[in-house]
Amino acid sequence: MKITKKHVLLVTVIAVIGGIFIGCKTRFATTQANNYTVTPSPQKLVRGRELAMSICAGCHYDHTVNKFIGRPLEDIPGIAGKVYSANLTHSRTHGIPTRYTDAELKYLFKTGVARDGRYLNYMLRPNMADSDIDAIIAFLRSDDPSLSAADTTIGLTHFTFIGKIYMGMHANPVAYSDNIKEPPADKVKLGYYLVDNLGCFHCHSGSLQKLNFQYPDQTPGYLAGGIKLKGINGAEMHASNITPDKQTGIGSYTIEEFRAAMVKGDAPGHRLKPPMPKFDQLKPEEVDAIYAYLQTVPAINNLVKR
Ligand code: HEC
Ligand code: HEC
């Protein structure tokens, strides 16, 4: 048989499709049951509430019922499927954390792997300090009214064939490691820690698909904005450039203006709209640390339309 260009093309196509499927791993190893358990304390609950309201609420909290009952996520194109976050309340039938051990929750945050082996990058926080993870888990187990049992579901995530291939190609769990004990004490380093763990860089960089969870500042277009997000009633929004560029970023923000933007949603000259969260639970020194850190990142000239 003569090997023609057609044959070569066919073999290449088969190899590429095969490669995509092999690359499409959708189940990963999960934690071996270990002895990690969280002992609650009043300090942990306060810190855990602050973190949960600043990180998890954006995707899991419903402001009409003031509970963590879950929400639909609007930023996934319909062609890939539909994603709903989970019910985090104490419901025995619908509350997902009731099915998790403390060790499995920590593993989910550190590696992005759920207890059933699925990769869920929304929760991936490889650089989060143990003390903060403890605090979040203590809060999730607490009797805070926002977590009291709600036996409801807002919908179940499903992916189309295209969505599954896409998710498989982008699944990238981080190896488990727990060598960070406390958030950094240094102001600028604390600012970087918060920009990482509060997820500012997820929305404010160049692409949701190219986020570098382990080394956030290596994410393409780091903090230079431009990602298209869905706002109120599906309105198209673009996350701002928050590098210190004077023309297109926040280089001319004063510290007072920055505080007002973060805590009240009052940016100079305009009100900030969702999905930009209101970070009204952060401590003043944390807001100031974020400001100090943002001054140190390279200024990128990138005009983002509002
Ligand atoms: C960017 C949005 C986002 C953020 C922020 C977020 N989550 Fe989620 N979370 C999701 C989505 C979406 C799912 C469901 C994914 C699925 O089932 O496909 C989920 C699922 C979960 C699950 C269930 C996993 C399972 O086995 O089904 C837990 C537990 C959880 N989140 C806890 C948290 C906690 C605690 C925080 C804050 C530290 C948090 N999440 C922050 C979007 C988010
Ligand atoms: C869920 C996505 C999301 C997250 C997380 C997020 N932002 Fe935003 N942010 C936005 C969007 C969208 C806008 C634009 C809002 C508007 O124009 O009304 C914005 C606007 C801003 C602005 C106003 C800039 C201007 O245009 O003048 C600042 C400052 C800012 N964000 C800082 C932060 C910081 C710091 C964090 C982390 C602590 C953060 N954001 C987390 C989406 C997000």
Which ligand lies nearest to the CA atom of residue 245 in the structure?
2
Q: CA 94 to CA 117: how far, in whole Å?
A: 19
Between the CA of 85 and the centroid of ligand 1 the distance, in Å, is 5
Number of residues that make up the chain = 306
In whole angstroms, what separates CA 166 from the centre of its chain? 18
Distance set, CA 280 to CA 34, 53, 151, 187, 262 (Å): 36, 9, 29, 19, 7
Is the beta carbon of 276 within 6 A of some atom in ligand 2? yes
pLDDT score at 19: 52
Is the beta carbon of 180 within 6 A of some atom in ligand 1? no
Between the CA of 16 and the centroid of ligand 1 the distance, in Å, is 32
Q: What is the atom index within ligand 2 of the atom nearest the CA of 258? A: 29
pLDDT score at 122: 92
Label residues 275-299 b or e (16+ Cβ within 10 Å = b).
bbbbbebbeeebbbbbbbbbbebeb
Confidence grade of residue 304 (pLDDT, cut at 50, 70, 90):
very high
Which ligand lies nearest to the CA atom of residue 260 in the structure?
2
Confidence grade of residue 296 (pLDDT, cut at 50, 70, 90):
very high
Between the CA of 78 and the centroid of ligand 2 the distance, in Å, is 25
Amino acid type, 140: L
Q: Quick one: residue 229, left, alpha or beta (phi over 0 = left, psi -120 to 50 = alpha)?
A: beta
Q: What is the atom index within ligand 1 of the atom nearest the CA of 99? A: 26
CA end-to-end distance (rounded Å), the chain = 61
Q: Which two tokens stand for residue 305?
A: 């339309």
pLDDT score at 191: 98
Confidence grade of residue 1 (pLDDT, cut at 50, 70, 90):
low
pLDDT score at 24: 62
- Least Cα distance to 102 among 178, 31, 198, 176 occurs for 31
Residue with the bigger pLDDT between 296 and 170: it is: 296
Convert the pLDDT of each residue in 73-103 to its tens digit.
Answer: 887 777 888 899 999 999 999 999 999 999 9
pLDDT score at 253: 97
Q: What is the atom index within ligand 2 of the atom nearest the CA of 290? A: 35
Convert the pLDDT of each residue in 185-243 to its tens digit.
Answer: 999 999 999 999 999 999 999 998 899 999 999 999 999 999 999 888 888 999 999 99
Confidence grade of residue 300 (pLDDT, cut at 50, 70, 90):
very high
C-beta separation of 56 from 201 below 8 A? no
Q: Whose CA is nearest to atom 10 of ligand 2?
A: 276
Which ligand lies nearest to the CA atom of residue 106 in the structure?
1
Q: Whose CA is nearest to atom 16 of ligand 1?
A: 157
Q: What is the atom index within ligand 1 of the atom nearest the CA of 56? A: 37
Is the beta carbon of 96 within 6 A of some atom in ligand 1? yes
Convert the pLDDT of each residue in 11-41 to its tens digit.
Answer: 666 555 555 555 567 789 887 667 899 999 9
Taken in order 56, 141, 66, 96, the sign of the CA dihedral is positive
Is the beta carbon of 240 within 6 A of some atom in ligand 2? yes
Average pLDDT, the chain: 91
Q: Which two tokens stand for residue 227?
A: 């990602």
pLDDT score at 80: 84
Distance set, CA 278 to CA 13, 26, 58, 262 (Å): 48, 34, 9, 6
Is the beta carbon of 299 within 6 A of some atom in ligand 2? no
Q: What is the atom index within ligand 1 of the atom nearest the CA of 114? A: 26
Q: Whose CA is nearest to atom 17 of ligand 1?
A: 157
Convert the pLDDT of each residue in 135-179 to its tens digit.
Answer: 999 999 999 999 999 999 988 888 888 888 878 888 899 999 888
Q: What is the atom index within ligand 2 of the atom nearest the CA of 304? A: 26
Is the beta carbon of 97 within 6 A of some atom in ligand 2? no
Instruction: Indicate if the pLDDT at residue 125 is higher than 60.
Output: yes
Confidence grade of residue 10 (pLDDT, cut at 50, 70, 90):
low
Is the beta carbon of 115 within 6 A of some atom in ligand 1? yes
Between the CA of 230 and the centroid of ligand 2 the distance, in Å, is 13
Q: Whose CA is nearest to atom 8 of ligand 2?
A: 276
Interacting residues of 2 by C-beta distance below 8 A, sequence separation 6+:
none
pLDDT score at 231: 87
pLDDT score at 134: 97
